[in-house]
Structure 1
Amino acid sequence: MGAERVGRRIAYWREHRGLTQSDFGRLMGQSRRWVQDLEGGQRQTDPRLSVLQRAAEILRIPLERLVTDPAPTPASTPLPGSVAALVDSLHQPAHRPSAAVHLPDLRRRLAFCCQAWTACHYTAVARDLPAILAAAHVAAADSTEGSVLLSRAYQLTASLLFKYGQLGRTPGVLAADRALVAAESAGDPVAIGAAARRVARGLIHQQRHATAAAYAKTAAAELRPELEQGGSIGLSTLGMLYLVAAVGATGAGRSPSSVAEATERLGEAGEVAQRQGDDQDADYTSFGPTNVRLHEVDVLLRLDDAWSALEAAQRIDPGALAGLGRERQARHLVTSARASALTRRREDATQLLLDAEQLAPEEVRRPSVLGLVRELLILVPNPDLSLRELAQRCGLRP
């Protein structure tokens, strides 16, 4: 079987699942050094079957993937041109617009980008954001409202870049930090809360889940009195902070404490949603009872309970889901596809991805979703035509 080759496969899938060696060791009931030796092929000449079975269970892959497959190599997915240009703009001196900045016009341009975001036109948003950021920097020097608009532009930039995996992570974190600085300069609690949510998301993308959960929870507690007085937009901001805290609570894997914490945060978000009333799209958050249920599905999946995630998804009202933006709908379809793949309902997973592609093609072209398509190609012994054609449209070789 080859301990070294098995170790390389374990290392690949551990990294693919976003686990550190310490995380994986904790889930295996072993030390980080034990994981280092296992991945280096130094634990034993022929790893015990019980060890491989437990590793496959934690990594959510069939046992045969560790035993028979050649060690996979991750494919590099370059950033789309407009997204790469947006990243470059973050590291260049801001050029002052040739004309004076008109705040109503800046608000309109930013609103257009936010609407394009909810429709999953990501490359179009990336194309317009550099000029908006430049104008917003000028406006921020002259007014508090300008600082709020600058924060919102950086918030959108961070959310967009987080869509693009490893290549977007570092610039996305930078944009989130700048959004928070601009919001704090303005002293606007809604902007501060919204920016704090992006900072928490950045921590999650850096695999610092516990820090993200604690940060979002603290931000919600500190801002709650002001946000509760801020009407729908304030309540939406508060509720979204609780939701990102729930996601952060799942980072250490399934345990009684992580389940309890994530459930508590979801409950707090649900209370805010009940107070707000029906689903609303204040500040383009899609926050409301339905979004809380969508996050419940995501949280259950992250806690390695794919069956419960699918059951929770079935309880969501299709009509309420259809009332949300395409970005939120498509993300939910992808999450459900992941849960279906993990429960060996691979035809369902393929159909859900096809539905997501029809709704929002750019959402399915993201690196993490491409990874799911790759996994289905490997897991399905004889991929049907629809899966092979989806892979081709995604630029993958069936």
Structure 2
Amino acid sequence: MDSIQFGRRVNYWRTRRRISRADFAALMGKSLRWVEELEGGRRQADPNWSVMVLAARHLGITVDRLMSEVIDTECAGESDIEAVRRVLQRHDVITGSFDRSSTEPHPVQALRRSLAYARTGFQAGHFAQLGSELPKLLVDAARAAHHHRGDDRLGAYEVLSLCLELTEAAAIKWGDSQLAVVAGHRAVTAAEQSENPVTMASAARHLGDAMTNHGEAAAAATVVLAAARRLEEDLLHCGPDGYSVLGMLYLKAAMAAAAAAEADDRAPARFARRVPDYLDEADEHAARLGGDENRLWTSFGPTNVSLYRVASHVYLSEGADAVAVAAGIPADAFNELPRERRAHLLTDRAIGEKQAGLREKAVDTLLEADELAPEEVRCRPRTRWLVEDLRVLGVRSAEGRLRMLADRCGLPR
């Protein structure tokens, strides 16, 4: 078992046992940083047996159970989502008016490490755990932005904006688009305080994503395009980070335009014809970047542009085109993407296969996605709806496999 798999299992059982990282570090006789690296798969190539035994003991399970390939997938509960919502509704978090207690604000570098840990979990497809991680991270970042001064204050606002972006992204996965819009707006406000054009562009693309998912696609396209035009000159001087977020703005514009076309009953073509132009613009920035990278957790590059081409075809009900684009993505490039991105592509491809009448193939594609990132399949409303649609439409020889997948999603028989 490699370190990433082991770290995932430790994180799962620690969260399930409601043991904080700090307490688990104390039980293991290690530092908090050590636990973060262990759960993030960065400690060693193969976990030591002594570490496995000690971790299992403090988690209250056998080593066999800790190492088992079978882990029940738990989706974010309403209590977890409500905890995030409550933090965003706190007066001190909204206004930044934290009292000047004797407690020192968290150093910016420590906040960056916590953010990186949470973001790594998201890109691995672990969305439920963010419900317990985000509230503290948001409060700590907001408090640091209020108390720090000078460059540290700018850095704290940058981290706060990125934490709010992560909240937006998690809320989309949880199916709460209203919460996503609130977090997206707050991220843009914090990004402006950071005075960093890369952070501003990143926040704008997340707000666009939230608005699109909330049924405000035409307005979302306007927002992200305005940000791209306003910030483009600065971003082009920021190197690879700037190319990445600028390209992502055009990808979000493409998705917003596709969603606006789908929602327009009078003249959908006026939005649909813009989609290829925005995707081509993103391709130009991907070429400038020179390959696939994961700067600022964008996964931006030529491969991610292809993923968005698939998604835009799905939005426009062009299932056969979506399947064809997905088939053209090189296997090695696909395998280099974070698990969340790979599973997201597979679920988009499955929707395209359903649209194209390839329903048996759609079931197999969903099962492939489920192996990569179970929460992307079992917990997201859009995927559960797809499973329900396939059950109604019928999948012939794949009925047994679909029944197994529906059981995993907790759908009634």
> What displacement does 1:80 show?
4.7
| Helix, strand or coil at the partner of 1:230 | coil
Runs of 4+ in 1 over 6 A off after TM superposition: none
Question: What pairs with 1:319-398 in structure 2 (closer than 5 Å)?
Answer: 319-364=332-377, 365-380=379-394, 384-398=399-413
Tell me if structure 1 keeps the 8 A contact 2:169–2:180.
yes
Aligned-partner Cα distance in 1 for 2:386–2:250 = 28
Question: Which residue pairs with 2:212 in the alignment?
Answer: 204
Give the AA of the match of 1:331: H
Q: Alpha-carbon deviations, 1:256-278, whole Å to 9, x = none? A: 43332001000100000000001
- Residues 385, 94 of structure 1: alpha-carbon distance in 2 compared, 3 angstrom cutoff: farther
Give the AA of the match of 2:85: V
1:118 to 102, 115, 123: 123
Question: Which residue pairs with 1:313 in the alignment?
Answer: 326
> What displacement does 1:89 show?
2.2
2:281 to 237, 251, 268: 268
Q: Alpha-carbon deviations, 1:33-56, whole Å to 9, x = none? A: xxxxxxxxxxxxxxxxxxxxxxxx
Question: Which residue pairs with 2:184 in the alignment?
Answer: 176
Aligned-partner Cα distance in 1 for 2:297–2:400 = 37
1:213 to 221, 227, 252: 221
Question: What pairs with 1:122-133 in structure 2 (closer than 5 Å)?
Answer: 122-133=127-138
> What displacement does 1:190 show?
0.8
| Helix, strand or coil at the partner of 1:347 | helix
Tell me if structure 2 keeps the 8 A contact 1:83–1:123.
no
Question: Which residue pairs with 1:249 in the alignment?
Answer: 257
> What displacement does 1:164 show?
2.2
Tell me if structure 2 keeps the 8 A contact 1:200–1:215.
yes
Give the AA of the match of 2:127: Y
| Helix, strand or coil at the partner of 1:249 | helix
Aligned-partner Cα distance in 2 for 1:215–1:330 = 28
Aligned-partner Cα distance in 1 for 2:78–2:357 = 32
Q: Alpha-carbon deviations, 1:126-146, whole Å to 9, x = none? A: 211111111101111121111
Give the AA of the match of 2:208: A
Tell me if structure 2 keeps the 8 A contact 1:80–1:123.
no
> What displacement does 1:172 show?
1.1
Question: What pairs with 1:294-313 in structure 2 (closer than 5 Å)?
Answer: 294-313=307-326
Aligned-partner Cα distance in 2 for 1:339–1:352 = 11
Q: Which moved more, 1:377-386 or 1:227-236?
A: 377-386
Aligned-partner Cα distance in 2 for 1:319–1:117 = 22
Aligned-partner Cα distance in 2 for 1:87–1:316 = 38
Aligned-partner Cα distance in 1 for 2:301–2:203 = 19
| Helix, strand or coil at the partner of 1:217 | helix
Tell me if structure 1 keeps the 8 A contact 2:339–2:372.
yes
Question: What pairs with 1:218-233 in structure 2 (closer than 5 Å)?
Answer: 218-233=226-241
Tell me if structure 2 keeps the 8 A contact 1:193–1:237.
yes
Question: What pairs with 1:134-173 in structure 2 (closer than 5 Å)?
Answer: 134-141=139-146, 142=148, 143-165=153-175, 168-173=176-181
Give the AA of the match of 2:389: E
Q: What is the identity percentage for the equivalent residue pairs of Structure 1 and Structure 2?
A: 34
> What displacement does 1:198 show?
1.4
Q: Unaligned 5+ residue runs, structure 2? A: 1-74
Aligned-partner Cα distance in 2 for 1:125–1:79 = 11
> What displacement does 1:235 show?
0.7
Give the AA of the match of 2:200: I
Give the AA of the match of 1:262: V
Give the AA of the match of 2:407: Q
Tell me if structure 2 keeps the 8 A contact 1:193–1:223.
yes
Question: Which residue pairs with 1:289 in the alignment?
Answer: 302
Q: Unaligned 5+ residue runs, structure 1? A: 1-76
Aligned-partner Cα distance in 2 for 1:284–1:298 = 19
Give the AA of the match of 1:252: A
> What displacement does 1:78 show?
8.2
Aligned residue pair count: 320
Aligned-partner Cα distance in 2 for 1:179–1:78 = 22
> What displacement does 1:368 show?
1.1
> What displacement does 1:93 show?
4.2
Tell me if structure 1 keeps the 8 A contact 2:118–2:130.
yes
Question: Which residue pairs with 2:20 in the alignment?
Answer: none
Q: Alpha-carbon deviations, 1:166-208, whole Å to 9, x = none? A: xx11111111111111111121111111111111112212212
Matched, 1:105 2:92: no
Aligned-partner Cα distance in 2 for 1:197–1:100 = 29
CA RMSD across the alignment = 1.8
Aligned-partner Cα distance in 2 for 1:393–1:111 = 30
Give the AA of the match of 1:134: V
Tell me if structure 1 keeps the 8 A contact 2:306–2:325.
yes
* TM-score where L is the length of structure 2: 0.74
| Helix, strand or coil at the partner of 2:178 | helix
Q: Alpha-carbon deviations, 1:276-331, whole Å to 9, x = none? A: 00100001110000000110111112112111111111111111011011111100
| Helix, strand or coil at the partner of 1:219 | helix
| Helix, strand or coil at the partner of 2:329 | coil
Aligned-partner Cα distance in 2 for 1:88–1:342 = 39
Give the AA of the match of 2:302: P
Question: Which residue pairs with 1:27 in the alignment?
Answer: none
Q: Alpha-carbon deviations, 1:322-364, whole Å to 9, x = none? A: 1011111100000000011111211111011111111001111
Give the AA of the match of 2:400: L
